[in-house]
Amino acid sequence: MVEVLHNLLSKVVDYAIFFFEFMGVIVLILAGIRGVINYFRKNPLTQLYLAKGMAMGLEFKLGSEILRTVVVRDVQEFLTVAGIIALRATLTFLIHWEIKKEEANGELEEK
């Protein structure tokens, strides 16, 4: 019974990881395309929109890595996943910091 539940959990987590990874990639691609279009249109908010899209994509990717910790089998694999989570969390933090800076600059320019 425990083995069946473990196998079921592994399958569900594997599909969820695939879904979140896929969604993260799609969001990043769409944000990149939108960024290119806004760049050629000389939109002053291009950097802000691109940063928000990248942050959203990374949130999906980070979610998949957190789910991956559920099915980790050994310490080496856990350390690898923990390193990836730390790296993606740092990137997300830096992008959010950049977004806040861009939004503050936009507010200053409006005044």
Better-predicted residue by pLDDT, 96 or 29: 29
Per-residue pLDDT, 1:
84
Better-predicted residue by pLDDT, 31 or 103: 31
Per the prediction, the chain carries an average pLDDT of 88
Give the DSSP per-residue string, 17-76.
HHHHHHHHHHHHHHHHHHHHHHHHTT-TTHHHHHHHHHHHHHHHHHHHHHHHGGG--SHH
pTM of the shown model: 0.77
Per-residue pLDDT, 28:
95
pLDDT digits (tens, 9 = 90+) for 45-87: 898 899 999 999 989 998 888 888 877 778 888 888 888 889 8
Per-residue pLDDT, 110:
57
Report whether pLDDT(35) > 80. Answer: yes
